[in-house]
Structure 1
């Protein structure tokens, strides 16, 4: 089967499964709604902030507060795209139709990545403009230094989260096992390692901790990370490459 045919086949699989469509829609709704709520609360509390906190006040980053929860849906999307065929047993049929396993996996990832990038960018721009509207006089403008980079980077961040999840799912081949590892990793382990003084230097190199640096425009006063916005996103990209490489090796060596 030609690569273009494989790509069309993967696109058909994604858009015909209701769960993947709903998870992407949920990513948009949750990110935007929570971002607006946090922005509105930040606006009302601004006058009570200390002088130190005002120096670190980042209206752009505040509007992305919902992304920490919205990425949950992107994780689910990435896992379902890859592992659904294993849970239903359709993987045998797919590999019989596309015996070149590298073509099969990378076509699936390519289609899902393109879709997650479009959704991520739309979500990022939408949550920025609506979040800034909630911030009133404290809002940032898209033309301010670093803001467009952060908004565009928000879309890339959501895409990389989905890609990392695809790689993990390709290695584990089980939706329940994949989600059972990824959810605690991003929502518990990463937060603990990133906020406990003894492990902060390790936690800052985890994919979400490093990648989220792209969302910041104002650097916090006590921030001592040895990388900038694009450096953090680069670290996250390395995690993604490692996960996808692991998924490819697993697919090549194991039976369907």
Structure 2
């Protein structure tokens, strides 16, 4: 089947599943809403800081605090995009219609990633502007160094979270098993490894810990992370690439 028809077919599948649209909407609501609330609360905290401490305050990163919850919905979106075909048994029909499994998989992921990025891009700009409005006198401008990179980086981060979930679900071939593994990793294991002194050097190389660096404009005080914003995003890209590659190999070698 021609690649254009495969892309159109995958778009139709994604659009026809109500849960995919709902999860993207929730990702936007969680990211924007929590980011605004935390920015509002942080305004008072910034007011209590000394001039020395304010040098390490990051108003941009503060406005993106909601991504910690918004990424949950992005993970669910990524899992549902791939896992829905396995849970309904439609994967057999899809692979019969598109025998070239690489074309099938990467058309699905490409369409879903583009949709996720468009939603994430709008979400990141809205989140930034509302967050800065909530910060009042402590706000920063989009034209200041590193800010636009962080805003676009937020969209890239959220998109890559979804794509990573798609890769993992392709490997596991089960939405429930994928969610059962991904949720504890991102909301329990990664924060623990990243905040405990003994495991911090390991935790900083996990996909979310590394990838979120792209949203920082001001490095934290006594920051010892051995990479910058783009380096962190590159580490996350490696995780995503490995998940997709293994997913493709599993799909290619196993029966539906």
Q: Place the TM-score, normalised by the shorter chain, in its bin.
A: over 0.9
Matched residue, 1:209: 209
Give distance in 2, aligned partners of 1:114 and 1:246: 21
Unaligned runs of 5+ in 2: none
Matched residue, 1:162: 162
Aligned residues: 256
Matched residue, 2:147: 147
Task: For residues 109-142 of structure 1, give each alpha carbon's deviation from its aligned partner in whole angstroms, at most 9, with x where no partner exists.
Answer: 0000111111111111110001000000100100
Give distance in 2, aligned partners of 1:227 and 1:48: 30
Matched residue, 1:6: 6
Matched residue, 2:34: 34
TM-score computed with the length of structure 2 as normaliser: 0.98
3-state SS of paired residue (1:198): helix
Post-superposition offset of 1:54: 1.9
Matched residue, 1:219: 219
Post-superposition offset of 1:44: 1.9
Q: Aligned ranges for residues 223-238 of structure 1 at < 5 Å?
A: 223-238=223-238
**Please, what is the CA RMSD of the aligned residues?**
0.8
Judging changes above 3 Å, is the alpha-carbon distance between structure 1 residues 77 and 47 closer, same or farther for their aligned structure 2 residues? same
Post-superposition offset of 1:52: 5.0
Post-superposition offset of 1:50: 4.7
Give distance in 2, aligned partners of 1:141 and 1:65: 18
3-state SS of paired residue (2:197): coil
Post-superposition offset of 1:51: 5.0
Matched residue, 2:17: 17
Give distance in 2, aligned partners of 1:188 and 1:119: 26
Matched residue, 1:123: 123
Matched residue, 1:107: 107
Matched residue, 2:71: 71
Task: For residues 11-60 of structure 1, give each alpha carbon's deviation from its aligned partner in whole angstroms, at most 9, with x where no partner exists.
Answer: 00001100000000000011000000000000122222355532211000
Give distance in 2, aligned partners of 1:246 and 1:53: 45
Give distance in 2, aligned partners of 1:134 and 1:39: 6
Give distance in 1, aligned partners of 2:52 and 2:105: 49
Task: For residues 151-209 of structure 1, give each alpha carbon's deviation from its aligned partner in whole angstroms, at most 9, with x where no partner exists.
Answer: 01000001100110000000001000000000000000000010100011111000000
Give distance in 2, aligned partners of 1:252 and 1:52: 56
3-state SS of paired residue (2:219): coil
Give distance in 1, aligned partners of 2:30 and 2:50: 30
3-state SS of paired residue (2:198): coil
Give distance in 2, aligned partners of 1:171 and 1:221: 39
3-state SS of paired residue (2:142): coil
Matched residue, 1:190: 190
Question: Does residue 135 of the first structure (1) align with residue 135 of the second (2)?
Answer: yes
Give distance in 2, aligned partners of 1:245 and 1:118: 24
